[in-house]
Structure 1
Amino acid sequence: MNQIVQYLTFGVAENLFAAPVGRVREILDLSPISRLPRSPAELLGMIDVRGASVPVVDARRLLGFGEANDTANTRIVVLTMMRGGRETVIGLKADRVFEVTSLDDETLEAPPEIGSCDWNAGAITGIGRRNGAFVTVIDVDSLFADIDVAHRAAA
């Protein structure tokens, strides 16, 4: 029996990505971000979310896309990830957020194998399709673990 999973879809550049709804805490309008000295380029800084400090990562930089100016559609998606057996909260600045949608887990394609090139497909759960467009489903834990952003932000 197919398992239908709910995902939040968001855009980065001209691409469509999805994160499991169970990992999404909330979606925020863009607010001022306090920069952290000597932080990696993809770590924009910290925001206050109801008294909690939350590190914010730029999805464009993290995913390897060129920089762009923020727009009225730019959002911060607050996600939870598992790190060292505990839940950590992190914000992901995306160009836009679309909708919550269902994707059938059995129809998700595996990430492509590219041979020996320097590409980490481990941050991708699968590739789906929605309204004729590819949807890259991210693995929240792996995506952030690779760059160790949560550890650096907490230090």
Structure 2
Amino acid sequence: MADAVQYVTLGIAEDLLAVPVERVREILEVQPISRLPHAPVHLLGMIDVRGQGVPVIDLRMKLGFEKVEDTENTRIIVLNVTVNEREVTFGLKTDRVFEVTVLDEDRLEAAPEIGTKWRSEFIAGIGRRHGKFVTVLELGRLFASEEAALADSHAA
């Protein structure tokens, strides 16, 4: 089990999601975010992470959930993501972060074609952790839009 894929599990509303741990650069508490004019509602703005401007995406809004106020559990996960064959850095604001873990099985189930709250192209697969479903996000597709253009323009 030493070569099992590890994930950072996180929560949005009552849903349990995951991102591959090798994509996570760091996990931050919520901090002031500089707004960007005319940005899409899910693009919150920019934060400074060790001297680098990093765009922050509200995962709740990106996936079509209702906006809520931040809590003491709200976190920003700083991720390195491959988008259009380029490595870019994003902050992903989420309701909470749980743990770094492996899923109950190495193999993910395919994303369902119907019955999801968001487009299934954002789902890499469905796993299980302690009997609960865990939706593993397809980060490249989740960020492959105007966010990629923004990150490219801020790459140093």
Q: Structures share a fold, TM > 0.5?
A: yes
Structure 1 residue 129, shift from structure 2 partner: 1.2
Percent of paired sites with the same residue: 59
Q: Is the 8 A contact 2:90 2:151 kept in 1?
A: no
Output the TM-score relative to the length of structure 1.
0.89
Tell me the residue number matched to 1:150.
148
Q: Is 1:46 matched up with 2:58?
A: no
Q: Is 1:62 matched up with 2:86?
A: no
Q: Is 1:137 matched up with 2:136?
A: yes
Q: Secondary structure at the match of 1:67?
A: coil
Counterparts of 2:50 and 2:57 in 1: how far apart (Å)? 19
Which ranges of 4 or more aligned residues in structure 1 deviate by more than 3 Å? Answer: 152-155
Tell me the residue number matched to 2:112.
112
Counterparts of 1:70 and 1:152 in 2: how far apart (Å)? 24
Structure 2 unaligned segments of length 5 or more: list them. none
Q: Secondary structure at the match of 2:113?
A: coil
Superposition CA RMSD, Å: 2.1
Q: Is the 8 A contact 2:83 2:143 kept in 1?
A: no
Structure 1 unaligned segments of length 5 or more: list them. none
Counterparts of 1:9 and 1:76 in 2: how far apart (Å)? 13
Residues 67-86 of structure 1 mapped to structure 2, 5 A cutoff: 67-86=67-86
Q: What code does the residue aligned with 1:9 have?
A: T
Tell me the residue number matched to 2:90.
90
Q: What code does the residue aligned with 1:102 have?
A: V
Q: What code does the residue aligned with 1:124 have?
A: I
Structure 1 residue 84, shift from structure 2 partner: 3.3
